[in-house]
Amino acid sequence: MTEITLDDVSKLEPGQIIADSVRQWRSDCQAGQFKIGSSTMRGNKLELELVGAQVSEGEYFGYPHQKWLALLFIDPEGVLSSILFKTESLDNFEEMRRQYRLKGESLLGKMIKATMSKRAGKTASYFAVEFEVISNGKYAEAIAQFRQQHWSPDMIRLIESKPAETNGTK
């Protein structure tokens, strides 16, 4: 068992991060909002500093088999966080990463802004996430230390939907 410390309420110092648990962010591309969990709306922009990224394939959250981009990052409040992207948003992130790679620069140590951008679909409008580097990161030193001491690609895991039951069997 791991005890949850309830009496540690010290304020974070500038550049310090909370990395004892991972905050789950979501990109709601129907509503055009980023959320913490399933219901805490936080607006149409999210600033993040990358800790790690991974592309996987699978059937998650009732969506058909496709590619997913999982980002492990530090959010604006200094909390270790994760988020998933798919389709056009994944492609937009990959293009930003490619542009920085062509310049010989890493995305580590950079502040990235993710913005919901409205699109017109065949039957309805939706949002895709666009990414841009906006500045040097304020958590770069803490992220470097975290990556050196704790980082493993296994830290990014996708939470898979339960497989559908067929003919009474799993």
Both tokens of residue 62?
């009732």
Q: What percent of the chain has pLDDT over 70?
A: 89
* Pairwise pLDDT comparison (22 vs 113), residue with the higher score: 113
Range of lowest pLDDT (10-24, 45-59, 77-91): 10-24
pLDDT at 1: 72
pLDDT band at 3 (very low <50, low <70, confident <90, very high): confident
Compute the distance between CA of residue 106 and CA of residue 11 in angstroms, rounded to an integer.
30
Compute the distance between CA of residue 48 and CA of residue 38 in angstroms, rounded to an integer.
19
Q: Determine the residue type at 59.
A: E
130-141 pLDDT tens trace: 999 999 999 999
29-42 pLDDT tens trace: 889 999 998 889 99
Name every residue whose Cβ is closer than 8 Å to that of residue 60 and which is 6 or more positions away in sequence: 68, 84, 158, 159, 160, 161
Name every residue whose Cβ is closer than 8 Å to that of residue 166 and which is 6 or more positions away in sequence: none
